[in-house]
Amino acid sequence: MKIEDAMVLAAGLGTRLRPITDTMPKPLVPVAGKAMIDYGLDALAKAGVKRAVVNVHHFADQMIAHLAGRAVPEIILSDETERLMNSGGGLAKGLKLLGRDPVFVMNADLFWIGEKPGEPSNLERLAEAFDPQRMDMLLLCVKLEDTTGHNGKKDFSMDADGRLARYREGDGTAFVYAGAIAMMPALFDDAPEDAFNLNIYFDRAIGTGRLHGIVMDGHWITVGTPEAIGAAEAVIGAAREAAA
């Protein structure tokens, strides 16, 4: 399936990254010389995405100025300066700025490195595997051992068909949600106008057997605290040396 639209969730306050986020939005915090949001936007551009809605709230003026410097993908702003809509509400609002074609949904503060050269990227694999006849959402997932900066929380278990369920101890291999989804915008046609958490839709899809996942290639990085920046940069530096 070809996916050319995306929604990037970027409006959070980044409270755990204080004091850095006292003066800048979390998605613009540099990691190894690159703003966090640009890792995701570059991955979207590489996968063929032409339009990306980005929601803004915290230091929105800085976000707008930074995003104005990008040519690909085309950036469409979803303004949450008056009221934060949480992950689900922000997604529902942003989807109204796009059409009815399939979309990627990405978190602005999570990214990955180490995809295999010459092979389909994680987002390309996500688009290819997404089947709206069988799935409400297809999530990119990662094994715990392939993460840096994660708090250890186990999100999902996955069956042989890729169907996801909330992880319970003893379920076997635990997977972490890697912050990328393939879905149809129509899924959110019934979404409330108020702020709500995206987990509501995850759980709904689990209940009907329509939440699926694929395992990402490479190494996944999240930067939730100032201390995590150094760990992330060490992993990125080691990967760059290995590739040189």
Query: CA angle, 221 as apex, 157 and 178 as ends, to 5°?
Result: 35
> Model confidence over 49-62: pLDDT tens digits?
999 999 999 899 99
Please state, in angstroms and rounded to a whole number, the distance separating the CA atoms of residues 240 and 186: 40
Q: How far is CA 233 from CA 25, 31, 35, 115, 242, in A?
A: 19, 6, 12, 17, 14
Q: Which residues pair with 143 in a beta bridge?
A: 175
What is the model's pLDDT at position 126? 97
More confident residue, 228 or 105: 105
Q: How confident is the model at residue 102 (pLDDT cuts 50, 70, 90)?
A: very high
> Model confidence over 73-89: pLDDT tens digits?
999 999 898 888 998 98
Please state, in angstroms and rounded to a whole number, the distance separating the CA atoms of residues 142 and 110: 12
**pLDDT of 215 strictly over 80:** yes
Q: How confident is the model at residue 172 (pLDDT cuts 50, 70, 90)?
A: confident
What architecture does CATH give domain 5-243? Alpha-Beta Complex (3.90)
Please say whether the beta carbons of 8 and 19 come within 8 A. Answer: no
DSSP secondary structure string for all residues of 15-39: GGGTTGGGTS-GGG-EETTEEHHHH
What is the model's pLDDT at position 169? 87
Average pLDDT, the chain: 92
Q: How confident is the model at residue 218 (pLDDT cuts 50, 70, 90)?
A: very high
* Type of residue found at 210: R
**pLDDT of 244 strictly over 80:** no
